[in-house]
Chains A and B, each alone.
Chain A
Amino acid sequence: MVTTEYFCTVLKEKGFDFFTGVPCSILKDVINYLANDPQVPYIAATREDEAIGIATGAYLAGRKPVVLMQNSGLGDSISALTSLDILYEIPIFLLISWRGYGGKDAPEHLIMGEVTTRLLEDIGVPAVILPGSDVEETISKAVSVLERKKIPIAVIVRRGVIG
């Protein structure tokens, strides 16, 4: 497990300077930290696809954006990812929490929990599951894929990995 402060510092050190998204209990500490961080903006979006639209505008404006969401919001994001960010080659760093991981969660999370990684693979978004250790190395690799492929990439966060 890594601390919220460490994780957010790694993201900022990698150059990410614009954050938007929709909350999830797994990401609550990260989002609260970013929302209170005077160094970076955090824009509370109303939906996940709106957050992707905002992040796209931010990227065009020269920012390096991160979109934070629960995997339930991935369903709302498919059109924005496929017909905007992948189509135009907009590199957005997606931080997606994984509800329904391992089939153990509230019933509303089980179907999306089962298909989350498959869904990302199907639409062509490279995804990596954040391990409990080697976090900085994982983020570095994800950033190099982001910069090389110029499309969104997803880092998936299970409960308890960032605390």
Chain B
Amino acid sequence: MKRYEAIEVITKALNGDELLVSANGMLSRELFSIRESPNNFYMLGSMGLASSIGFGLAYNLPGRRVIVIDGDGNILMNLGSLATIGHFGPSNLIHIVLDNEMHASTGGQPTVSNTVNLEGVASAAGFLVVKKVSSSKDLHTAIEEALNSKGPSFILAKIERGEKDVPRVSYEPIHIKSRFKEVIEQTK
């Protein structure tokens, strides 16, 4: 399973009402190409902070489901975020890490997630649902299970290297923010 395929599986498993926060780099670009929606907050910079933005949303919107689509390089920059999420325990947060064991967006430099068990870190931090998957079928099942469980949930999806040639997110950051905030206000 490559990242593009994994993002397709994720978006198909959701009903479309969820709030999505996607990590910077190719991940946001691929989500933009697969399922563009005002419910997507495409993080363009601030590497590492997708899970923190997702936590701030989930904590303050207990009635909304918040999905963070993260990468291994991103979460390794902000492992403290797993501790914070585990401690405060927002039940409506699903944190998915697409783990290709490298910084693919910058040329494939290795991360350390080939030896570090990120799912073990999440479990120790207090995530209530923790899954590790490597096939699209298992990823789909894990998301369905997380959607039907009290979280916070952490899904580590091992993926293969490879990206599609997709364009950059073409919207201005201010537009991404404004319409995302509007979606939240309209559905409160």
Does B83 belong to the interface (CB within 8 Å)? yes
Which B residue sits closest to A57, measured CB to CB?
A: B56
Partner-A contacts on B (CB < 8 A): 21, 41, 43-61, 78, 80-81, 83-84, 88, 173-174, 176-177, 180-181, 184-185, 188
With a cutoff of 8 Å between Cβ atoms, the chain A residues found around residue B43 in the complex are 84
CA distance A46 to B49 in the complex (A): 12
With a cutoff of 8 Å between Cβ atoms, the chain A residues found around residue B52 in the complex are 45, 50-54, 56-57
Nearest CB of B to A88, in Å: 4
**Contact across chains for B44 and A41 when beta carbons are under 8 A apart:** no
With a cutoff of 8 Å between Cβ atoms, the chain B residues found around residue A63 in the complex are 60
Partner-B contacts on A (CB < 8 A): 18, 20, 41, 43-47, 49-63, 65, 79-80, 82-84, 87-90
Our count of residue pairs bridging A and B at CB distance below 8 angstroms stands at 112
**Contact across chains for B173 and A87 when beta carbons are under 8 A apart:** yes
CA distance A87 to B184 in the complex (A): 20
With a cutoff of 8 Å between Cβ atoms, the chain B residues found around residue A53 in the complex are 46, 48-53, 55-56, 78, 81
New A-B contacts (15) at CB < 8 Å, excluding given A50-B52, A87-B173: A43-B59, A49-B49, A53-B51, A53-B55, A54-B56, A57-B56, A57-B59, A60-B184, A61-B57, A61-B59, A61-B61, A62-B188, A80-B49, A83-B44, A90-B177
CA distance A90 to B181 in the complex (A): 11
Nearest CB of B to A155, in Å: 21
Contact for A60 among B44, B53, B84, CB less than 8 A: B53
With a cutoff of 8 Å between Cβ atoms, the chain B residues found around residue A82 in the complex are 45
Q: A52-B49, A53-B53 are in contact. Are A41 and B80 (CB under 8 A)?
A: no
